[in-house]
């Protein structure tokens, strides 16, 4: 149906897309312009009318307001706050809430556009959104941050910018289940008596507050699933100059927060090798491999990687990211792979765990070197996918598996009993813990993880098929699929 519509578009309109996909020879641009560059490059591959492309590109709504904060010392400070809803063609909109002193209007617009496309690639029923507060959370007390998060929630609610059917924030840089739980609690106090689904106003909450098992690991786990699926492709790996498969691959990670840690943890458990990590206080390298759990325990205690005893090299800067490896994973901020440092990289594959880590200028340089990219709007979508599962749990008012786990376990025992009767074999599961474990019904986390695995596998397969059919990169294939999905939805629903 998508291809039928594309063929129906007027050819002159396609030719008028000369401004889309223009070269980035002038160098790096702002983050918003970077996202627009990738949008334009993908738009040039479609036959979608130019006026509709302009509509899909622009942000539907963005708000900025200031939150008054009474500091612990009694002084008053005004904190800028933002929320952007890129596209409301599907409701609710969905996207994270960050605490960062670098946040501004254009940044949330860019990130909300990426969320729209990410949701489309994973076929999630959301438009894209993003928001946050302009502050460094390390400079504020717990009480001050709680006060701000609660006031932020109230101000969003007063403007009709939060709710399970309107706009559903989630965790992002500087926020986690603590902040999301505060937002949920404040919203339910504000509107819970009018909204039975108030608990679904945010995702990434603590489990006791309506959160779901596996949300913390989800983005990093999604990175693992995506890398595993793509690296099983012989042709892709041949083009990258590496053997097929994730096992045995050397990995360097930039940013060892939750995303970087869990990506490393699951990839190493599968057979990859973590050889380098860059953090705010420097970078470490160990050719024989770094244990992800040991490094995480050290980082939690020391608040950084400096001094990690099992690394053979320590650098005060991030220079380890330029060492030779199979896979480099940027898991920190946007535009960390840029025109200035692109020539320094010696990896075969860049797997984007962060949002918008690679500028178009950098990508063009690295593609000429033979580097292959696993795009952010596909690879780091594990977080929003599991947030979707949490949202569904909140709307259903029941955790996954509650009504089926015992039934599935009973069914397995009955099947085992039938096998024993028909074959004469006897298995005493009370004396075999491994056998007993296999007969258990799935836990909520089991269902979340398998649901995420299926979602990532399907999205990767569709992206690969488009890339092969149109002879384009995985990034352009992901953007193309997202654009066509958005266009099909709007064309079918109508626009007035």
Which residues carry out catalysis?
130
Contact 220, 259 (CB under 8 A): yes
Query: Residue 361 and residue 358: Cα distance in Å, rounded?
Result: 8
Strand ranges inside 352-490, DSSP E: 372-374
The string over 368-404, giving b where at least 16 C-beta atoms fall within 10 Å of a residue's C-beta and e elsewhere, is eeebbbbbbbbbbbbbbbbbbbbbebbeeeebbbeee
Q: Which two tokens stand for residue 126?
A: 């959301």
* Sheet with 76-85, edge to edge strand ranges: 61-70, 76-85, 127-133, 93-99, 167-171
CA dihedral 285, 291, 292, 296 (to 10 degrees): -90
Contact 199, 394 (CB under 8 A): yes
434, burial (CB in 10 Å: exposed 0-12, middle 13-18, buried 19+): exposed
DSSP string spanning 427-447? Answer: --GGG-HHHHHHTSPPPHHHH
């Amino acid at each position: 149906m998508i291809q039928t519509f594309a063929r129906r578009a007027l050819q002159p309109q396609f030719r008028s897309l000369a401004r889309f996909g223009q070269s980035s020879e002038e160098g790096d641009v702002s983050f918003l312009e970077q996202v627009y560059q990738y949008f334009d490059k993908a738009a040039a591959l479609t036959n979608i009318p130019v006026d509709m492309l302009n509509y899909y590109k622009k942000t539907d709504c963005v708000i900025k307001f200031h939150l008054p904060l009474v500091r612990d010392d009694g002084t008053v400070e005004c904190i800028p706050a933002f929320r952007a809803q890129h596209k409301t063609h599907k409701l609710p909109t969905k996207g994270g809430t960050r605490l960062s002193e670098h946040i501004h209007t254009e940044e949330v617009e860019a990130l909300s556009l990426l969320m729209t496309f990410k949701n489309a690639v994973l076929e999630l029923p959301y438009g894209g959104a993003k928001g946050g507060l302009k502050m460094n959370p390390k400079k504020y007390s717990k009480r001050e941050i709680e006060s701000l998060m609660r006031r932020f929630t109230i101000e969003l609610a007063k403007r009709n910018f939060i709710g399970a059917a309107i706009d559903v924030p989630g965790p992002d840089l500087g926020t986690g289940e603590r902040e999301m739980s505060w937002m949920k609690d404040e919203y339910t106090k504000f509107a819970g008596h009018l909204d039975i689904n108030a608990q679904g106003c945010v995702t990434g909450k603590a489990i006791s507050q309506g959160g779901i098992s596996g949300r913390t690991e989800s983005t990093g786990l999604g990175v693992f699933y995506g890398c595993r699926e793509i690296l099983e492709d012989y042709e892709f790996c041949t083009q990258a100059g590496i053997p097929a498969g994730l096992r045995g691959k050397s990995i360097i990670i930039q940013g060892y927060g939750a995303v970087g840690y869990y990506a490393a943890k699951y990839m190493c458990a599968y057979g990859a090798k973590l050889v380098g990590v860059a953090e705010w206080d420097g970078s470490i390298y160990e050719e024989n491999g770094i244990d992800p759990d040991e490094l995480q325990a050290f980082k939690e205690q020391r608040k950084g990687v400096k001094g990690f005893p099992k690394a053979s090299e320590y650098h005060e800067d991030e220079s380890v990211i330029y060492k030779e490896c199979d896979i480099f994973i940027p898991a920190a901020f946007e535009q960390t792979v840029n025109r200035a440092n692109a020539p320094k990289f010696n990896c075969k594959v860049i797997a984007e765990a962060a949002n918008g880590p690679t500028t178009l200028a950098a990508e063009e340089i690295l593609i000429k070197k033979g580097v292959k990219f696993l795009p952010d709007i596909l690879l780091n979508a594990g977080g929003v996918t599991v947030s979707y599962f949490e949202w569904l749990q909140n709307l259903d008012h029941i955790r996954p598996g509650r009504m089926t786990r015992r039934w599935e376990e009973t069914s397995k025992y009955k099947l085992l009993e039938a096998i024993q009767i028909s074959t004469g074999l006897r298995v005493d599961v009370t004396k075999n813990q491994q056998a007993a474990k296999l007969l258990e019904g799935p836990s909520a986390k089991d269902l979340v993880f398998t649901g995420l695995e299926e979602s990532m596998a399907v999205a990767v397969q569709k992206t690969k098929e488009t890339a092969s059919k149109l002879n384009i990169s995985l990034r352009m294939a992901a953007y193309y699929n997202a654009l066509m999905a958005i266009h099909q939805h709007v064309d079918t629903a109508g626009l007035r």
